[in-house]
């Protein structure tokens, strides 16, 4: 009787497993949505590639756009739909390719639309573009994507602008933000998402003191008409408004933006938005309070934009710990039941897991006391921060003298020890200070915008991570007498306020931005004025500066002969809450004199986490540094771009500056295959099937971590 019972149970289990497999097999063989699906799983339900044959993958085509430039990138996760592959070039041209050959079908170039110059006559502002969105309009279909400060609608078959959408085929992203934003930086870096007849978007905004609000907007996908707006910085009468001590904060504070995109539960009509920090990133004395909905995962009714629930992962953030990726939507096992979950990774290495419908944590989260000893005048830190008990962090979160890089000479280790002893490094929530504060995990993760992948066959989450320490140093930003300033002095003051956070204290550049020390050899005074007016790539515009202020800034940056002339700026106006008493000296990695990370490896990892138990299954280094790999030491490296997984137990990822694309065994992290790309692929690959043949495609744009910029899309397949 017992054996018969076991047989019945076994057959029932296999039947259910088979039904699940059939459901996954019924998923589209295309990669039609950024991230693989609206649930953001990066899961390709294809079975042609196995652990046994993946070693036979070889390059079958390579597309070259021809528009790479110094410091350009391609971070695009392309899509394949209705037999066409859609991607974006380094200079934001929308491209349509034949998916088995890589041959061009058409190219849409926003530069050719007569808007190369903006309202002030400046250059067309550029940004990175991580993907595009397809909408079935009942005709040819349309592609939505962001270039500069516009959302474009393009005919999917012809590549022509759809003039019946918005304003002659585009929407100005400065509009419908509830307050004037024409002079502020607003761009669409991560693609929007479709719900019914809506295109829903978030934006990238400036991270300095003068930033646009990051409100989430939904537009009619046919007409471009605004349908709803969710105020990420609540306005009077809205939930969350009291989390800001200043009742007028919504009128001047920016940020709290959904720059990382969205996940969508279409069945339940729930949109999940991971939000960024409030501006300014590193000082919050002018935005006292918890600052909802900054640093929150927000669940919205996708039809109306009404808040359903939210959870704030960092209160009153002054460490730039914005949520870096859209969450994964998955069903998990808890107490014998399948629970609809939302899984949110963070830069700090925590993973927050909630019930998708209610926001109730599926694993315990504790509010723990954190340091309160800020020495910055006016700052008021949160007394507690939320710490997940489970899953455990997938990266290290402390750096002390026991973890100094052992691969360095003794003199370099001593140098690192001296720096470490001179800065605050006792807590990941140590307050920003003028002596210096360790930021670890760093500004770029833990998790980053590449995001995780999830295998629904075994409920395992796979996530690549960075473990690079940075140092945040604040300096006073005291006002100077306007009457006694020269142009050079005023320019230096303005540089410290507006430019230093990206380009360094002495114009030497940083990990995020180039050096300006030789700017006068590459640009004229007139060109710099235009650049300040419009911005370029990741640089925001500075239209709020007066002509006199731009003249002073230009004089300082270009070392002009008029630096000793009097500054004719306006008299100081009434103090503004945007006048910051402190600013950061920039994004500075904590490295050795030789240029290697100060901390012991691994510096980049690939991690597998069982989401039913919260346990880490395995961790392996991701990426190689030549100086150490030649000695047989695999250190891992910083990485940008995410993984994709298959039901056959393979994980694909590029992301590393060594320029390789790799396949790993999902079971244990063993390397199964690798190949050298023409340029590093700082993007997430895709996998699709055409007539039974699999194609693995990756954008190879380089341009980060000191690597050269490229302009390629590369495809692999089996012989």
Domains of the chain: 480-571 (1.10.760.10)
Residue 483 confidence (pLDDT): 58
Residue 28 confidence (pLDDT): 54
Quote helix, strand, coil % in the chain, to nearest 5.
15, 30, 55
CA dist 342 to 16, 491, 545, 610, Å?
23, 48, 43, 14
Residue 488 host element (H or E): helix 487-498
Following DSSP, what letter does each residue of 409-451 receive, concatenated?
Answer: -HHHHHHHHHHHHHSB-S-TTPPP-SS-EEESSBTTBSS-TT-
C-alpha R_g of the chain: 25
Residue 492 confidence (pLDDT): 74
Residue 482 confidence (pLDDT): 55
- E-only strand ranges, 244-327: 263-265, 270-274, 296-301, 307-312
Residue 6 host element (H or E): helix 2-25
Q: How far apart are CA 502 and CA 500, in angstroms?
A: 5
Residue 234 confidence (pLDDT): 98
Q: How far apart are CA 153 and CA 227, in angstroms?
A: 17
C-beta of residue 151 within 8 angstroms of C-beta of residue 170: yes
Residue 588 host element (H or E): strand 588-589
Q: Label residues 301-335 b or e (16+ Cβ within 10 Å = b).
A: bbeebebbbbbbbbbbbbbbbbbbbbbbbbebeee
| 35: phi then psi, degrees, rounded to nearest 5 | 85, 5
DSSP lists the bridge partners of residue 376 as none
Following DSSP, what letter does each residue of 303-331 receive, concatenated?
Answer: TT--EEEEEESSSS--S-----SPPEEEE
Residue 38 confidence (pLDDT): 98
Q: How far apart are CA 651 and CA 189, in angstroms?
A: 25
Segment 136-141 long-range contacts (CB within 8 Å, at least 24 positions apart):
137/221, 137/222, 141/81, 141/82
DSSP lists the bridge partners of residue 113 as none
Using omega within 30 degrees of 0 as the cis cutoff, is the peptide bond preceding 280 cis?
yes
> What is the strand order of the sheet 660-665 is part of?
644-645, 650-653, 660-665, 671-676
Mean pLDDT, each 10-residue run in order, the chain (719 residues): 42 41 54 97 97 98 95 96 97 97 97 52 64 97 96 98 97 96 93 98 92 97 98 97 97 97 98 98 97 98 98 98 98 94 98 98 98 96 97 96 97 98 96 97 95 97 98 84 70 73 72 72 74 64 73 77 75 71 94 97 98 96 96 97 98 98 98 98 98 97 96 97
| 402: phi then psi, degrees, rounded to nearest 5 | -80, -10
Sign of the C-alpha dihedral computed for residues 289, 294, 298 and 301 taken in this order? positive
CA dist 178 to 389, 397, 545, Å?
39, 39, 22
Residue 545 confidence (pLDDT): 76
The DSSP output letter for 611 is T
Residue 561 confidence (pLDDT): 73
Return the closest-CA partner of residue 467 out of 606, 274, 605: 605
User: Quick one: tokens of 45?
Assistant: 């339900």
Following DSSP, what letter does each residue of 166-222 receive, concatenated?
Answer: TBTTEEETTSSSSS--TTS-EE--S--EEETTEEEE--EE--SSS--B--EEEEETT
Residue in the block written with tokens 């350009």:
72
Residue 465 host element (H or E): strand 460-466
> What is the strand order of the sheet 470-472 is part of?
437-439, 470-472, 588-589
For 632: left if phi > 0, alpha if psi spans -120 to 50, otherwise beta; the answer is left
Q: How far apart are CA 688 and CA 290, in angstroms?
A: 44
């Amino acid at each position: 009787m017992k054996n018969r019972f076991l047989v019945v149970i076994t057959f029932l289990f296999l039947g259910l497993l088979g039904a699940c497999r059939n459901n996954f097999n019924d998923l589209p063989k295309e990669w039609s949505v950024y991230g693989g699906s609206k649930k953001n799983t990066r899961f390709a339900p294809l079975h042609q590639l196995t652990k046994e044959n993946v070693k036979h993958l070889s390059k079958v085509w390579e597309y070259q756009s021809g528009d790479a430039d110094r410091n350009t990138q391609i971070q695009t996760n392309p899509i394949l739909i209705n037999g066409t592959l859609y991607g974006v070039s380094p200079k934001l041209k929308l491209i349509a390719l034949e998916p088995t050959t890589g041959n061009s079908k058409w190219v849409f170039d926003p530069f050719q639309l007569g808007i190369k110059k903006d309202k002030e006559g400046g250059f067309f502002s550029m940004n990175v573009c991580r993907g595009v969105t397809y909408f079935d309009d009942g005709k040819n279909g349309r592609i939505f994507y962001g270039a500069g400060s516009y959302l474009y609608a393009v005919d999917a078959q012809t590549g022509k602008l759809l003039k019946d959408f918005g304003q002659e085929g585009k929407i100005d992203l400065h509009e419908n933000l509830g307050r004037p934003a024409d002079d502020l930086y607003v761009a669409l870096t991560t693609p929007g998402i479709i719900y019914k007849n809506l295109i829903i978007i978030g934006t990238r905004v400036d991270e300095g003191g003068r930033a646009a609000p990051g409100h989430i907007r939904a537009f009619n996908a046919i007409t471009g008409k605004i349908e709803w707006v969710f105020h990420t910085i609540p306005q009077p009468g809205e939930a969350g408004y009291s989390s800001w001590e200043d009742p007028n904060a919504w009128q001047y504070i920016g940020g709290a933006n959904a720059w990382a995109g969205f996940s969508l539960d279409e069945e339940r009509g729930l949109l999940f938005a991971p939000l960024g920090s409030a501006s300014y990133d590193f000082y919050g004395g002018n935005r006292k309070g918890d600052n909802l909905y900054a640093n929150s995962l927000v669940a919205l009714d996708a039809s109306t934009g009404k808040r359903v629930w939210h959870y704030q992962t960092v209160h009153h953030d002054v460490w730039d710990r914005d949520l870096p990726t859209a969450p994964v939507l998955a069903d998990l096992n808890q107490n014998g039941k399948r629970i609809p979950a939302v899984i949110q990774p963070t830069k700090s290495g925590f993973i927050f897991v909630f019930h998708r419908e209610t926001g109730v944590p599926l694993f315990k989260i504790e509010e723990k006391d954190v340091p309160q000893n800020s020495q910055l005048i006016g700052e008021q830190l949160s007394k507690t921060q939320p710490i997940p008990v489970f899953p455990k962090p997938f990266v290290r979160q402390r750096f002390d003298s026991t973890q100094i890089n052992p691969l360095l000479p003794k003199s370099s280790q001593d140098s690192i020890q001296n720096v470490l002893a001179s800065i605050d490094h006792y807590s990941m929530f140590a307050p920003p200070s003028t002596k210096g504060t360790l930021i670890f995990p760093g500004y770029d993760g833990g998790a980053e915008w590449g995001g995780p992948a999830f295998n629904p066959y075994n409920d395992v989450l796979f996530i690549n991570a960075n473990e690079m320490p940075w140092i945040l140093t604040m300096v006073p930003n005291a006002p100077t007498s306007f009457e006694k300033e020269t142009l050079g002095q005023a320019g230096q003051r303005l540089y410290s306020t507006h430019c230093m956070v990206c380009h360094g204290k002495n114009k030497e550049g940083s990990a995020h931005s180039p050096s300006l020390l030789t700017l006068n050899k590459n640009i004229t005074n007139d060109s710099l004025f235009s650049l300040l007016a419009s911005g370029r790539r990741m640089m925001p515009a500075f239209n709020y500066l007066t002509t006199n202020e731009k003249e002073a800034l230009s004089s300082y940056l270009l070392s002009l002969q008029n630096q000793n002339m009097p500054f004719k700026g306006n008299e100081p106006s009434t103090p503004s809450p945007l006048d910051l008493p402190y600013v950061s000296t920039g994004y500075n990695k904590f490295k050795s004199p030789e240029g290697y990370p100060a901390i012991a490896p691994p510096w980049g990892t690939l991690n597998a986490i069982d989401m039913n138990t919260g346990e880490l299954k395995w961790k392996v280094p991701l990426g190689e540094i030549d100086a150490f790999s030649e000695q047989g030491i695999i250190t891992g490296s910083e990485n940008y771009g995410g993984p994709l997984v298959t039901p056959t137990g393979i994980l694909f990822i590029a992301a590393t500056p060594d320029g390789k694309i790799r396949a790993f065994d999902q079971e244990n992290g063993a390397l199964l295959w690798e190949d050298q790309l023409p340029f590093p692929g700082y993007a997430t690959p895709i996998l699709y099937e055409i007539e039974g043949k699999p194609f693995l495609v990756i954008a190879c744009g380089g341009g980060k971590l000191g690597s050269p910029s490229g302009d390629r899309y590369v495809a692999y397949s089996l012989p």
